[in-house]
Chain A
Amino acid sequence: MSEAAAMTVITRVPGVAFALMLLCTVFALTSAGFVTPTNVANILVQSTILLLLALPMTLIIMTEGLDLSMGAVLTFASISLAIVVISTGSFALALLAAVAVGLCFGFANGILVSILDIPPFIATLGTLGIAQGLSLLATDGQSVVGIPRSIDRIYSGALAGIPLPIVIATLAYGATHVLLYHTRFGAYISALGGNREALKIAGISVRGTLILVYLFGGLMAGFAALLMTARLNSAHPTAGIGMEFDAIAAVAVGGTSFEHGNGWLFGTLLGVLAVGVLRNGLNLLAVPSSAQVASIGALVIIALFIDGLRRGQ
């Protein structure tokens, strides 16, 4: 580990780990049901969908980008998956449909951001509208129900005693880790945020790298759609709305900076857990979900405030 990387760990670990510990302590003291094996397993399983979105979001934010369409794309992928599995009965085809939807939107985002040079937050705001419209059109605003049990088992099943969603999330984390820290592509992503000009001079295709990053986001949204559909056992045109915000919150809390591409994947994992613990703890305290949204908004602004203070030093 280089000195710079070591410094990153030293300055970042306390922030998000402290937040996580603080949240756990508060909820352990205020809610009797918090520290039980069932609830801890619950938090972990429930956090898997968010992790699948937060991993690519980390990479996207590292390129000084943003993907606001992720929640809407997740929703449309989930609806496509449900419709295909109900009409064909084929699990493989349904997963293919969800992943294809994710990849199409990821590709569109990538083209808009890289080839057409549209700022990411506005490009993905546009595709958010498109995905939301398609979801409404495909369902007429109704839930898609009658999904076969085979899908349901993806969320409730286990492999060697470990819940399947955790197996999937672990694989996704491992793959993203290798991609970011052990491939050239990962090095390009790090360079894109902090040193775009150098990358251009070195003859690396900035546009190609950007398109791949957003494609990765779409791919993961497709897999997350599988988990979400399995969890809800239905698909609904508003089910995933706002999920991108939880993902952005997790990345921000995890210490990835919105400028200069300083990213930290393990921080994102801790950030996902922090958001998961916050939502779970507030649920146990019977706090309405509206107040949960407000508290996550506050969490992001606090995290960015601390990030701003760090940069100020």
Chain B
Amino acid sequence: MSASDVLVQPRFALSSNLKQGLYRILAAALLCVVLSRLSGAFMTQANILNVLRQTALLFLMASGLTLVILTAGLDLSVGANIGLSACLAASVIKMSDSALLGTATGIGCGMLVGLANGVLVTALRIPSFIATYGMMWMLTGITYFYMAGETIHGFPPAFRQLGIGYWLGIPMPIYVMLLFLTIGTFFAQRTVWGQEVYAIGANPVAARLSGVPVPSRLVLVYTVSGAMAGLASLIILARINSAQGDIGEDLTLPAIAAVLVGGTSLFGGSGTVIGTLIGALILTLVLNGMNLLQINASWQPLVTGVIVLLAVWISTRTRQTNE
């Protein structure tokens, strides 16, 4: 490694990521080829749009989480946060009949939860995986308590456009995804705040000594992660047209898997937002393929678990070789 590499590496962390990213795109392409061979239903317009819509949703859940993991933290409350935000948004839409108010509630609830996570992690110095784990159970409990086994369904058509609408033949969630991919990438790569997020993940002590306001940046990334969970909850709500207490269940593990498969290191400081998009695509392809091949849905948590372990193992090995 030459001196110029050392200088460039921490700033954009793109050169090595580019190679890693190409491998992942190749893997996704390979998956597509294999799946189209195995199942005639794969290469149909309906299924491709379905895969893209799923990828968009998974990406939105995982994009904020990517920033958290870049700081060497973790947010285990993503799924439970989606559950509570969706249920609150649903009941506000029902009560006020205003899609706008519901949208604000969903994103606001997600943000507040994220803010609470940020405070627990920074002000109270609780390790992030345990703070967000406690938060996850608290939110799950509150959601079930609030819903009391009820289902809220039937939302105004204007709101439902967010989940099932099309523009120029392309599903709405994909536009939302592209918007946040652009914002996220610009934030992470081209702003001082984004660079500070990388710096915190790479070496928190060095970051603090060089003047990065570590606590306020951490609070920011957890709040963003919460807000993205809130946004994702709205898209789910608009798509399935109903809200139940268990709506966010089983979403955390796939979101974490998307980030890790996308090449963001669990140890912080390296990874990209666009990598998470590729990770989300790969995971969606695997799960979609299992559906098309009519493999029992019970295999899904197992396969997701194995994928998480493999992704972390690879990133751990890469880190050790680099050292």
Contacts and interface: CB of A to CB of B under 8 A. Distances in A.
Given A294-B138, A301-B120, A258 B302 contact: no
Interface string B280-313: 0000000000000000101111111110110011
Contacts, number: 139
Contacts of A172: none
B130 A258 contact: yes
B138 A297 contact: yes
Chain B interface, >50% SS class: helix
Contacts of B312: 118-119, 122-123, 126
Contacts of A259: 127
B180 interface: no
A66 B316 contact: no
Nearest to B141: A294
Interface stretch (A82-90, A130-138, A183-191, A272-280): A130-138
Chain A interface, >50% SS class: helix
Contact of A118 (B139, B303, B316): B316
A133 B301 contact: yes
A294 B142 contact: yes
Contacts of A258: 126-127, 130
A298 B138 CA distance: 6
B205 to A, nearest CB: 16
Contact of B145 (A123, A132, A242, A290): A290
B88 interface: no
Given A126-B308, A301-B120, A133 B298 contact: yes
Contact of A132 (B76, B133, B302): B302
Interface string A131-174: 01110110011000000000000000000000000000000000
Given A290-B145, A293-B141, A308 B125 contact: yes
A121 B74 contact: yes
B124 A305 contact: yes
A133 B305 contact: yes
A122 B108 CA distance: 28
Given A116-B313, A126-B308, A130-B302, A311 B125 contact: yes
Contacts of B309: 112, 118, 123, 126-127
A42 B70 CA distance: 47
Contacts of A295: 141
B141 A292 contact: yes
Interface of A: 66, 68, 112, 116-119, 121-123, 125-130, 132-134, 136-137, 140-141, 242, 245, 248, 252, 258-259, 288, 290-298, 300-301, 304-305, 308, 311-312
Given A119-B266, A290-B144, A294-B140, 14 more contacts: A68-B133, A112-B313, A122-B308, A125-B253, A128-B305, A132-B305, A140-B298, A258-B126, A258-B130, A290-B141, A293-B144, A297-B137, A304-B134, A308-B124
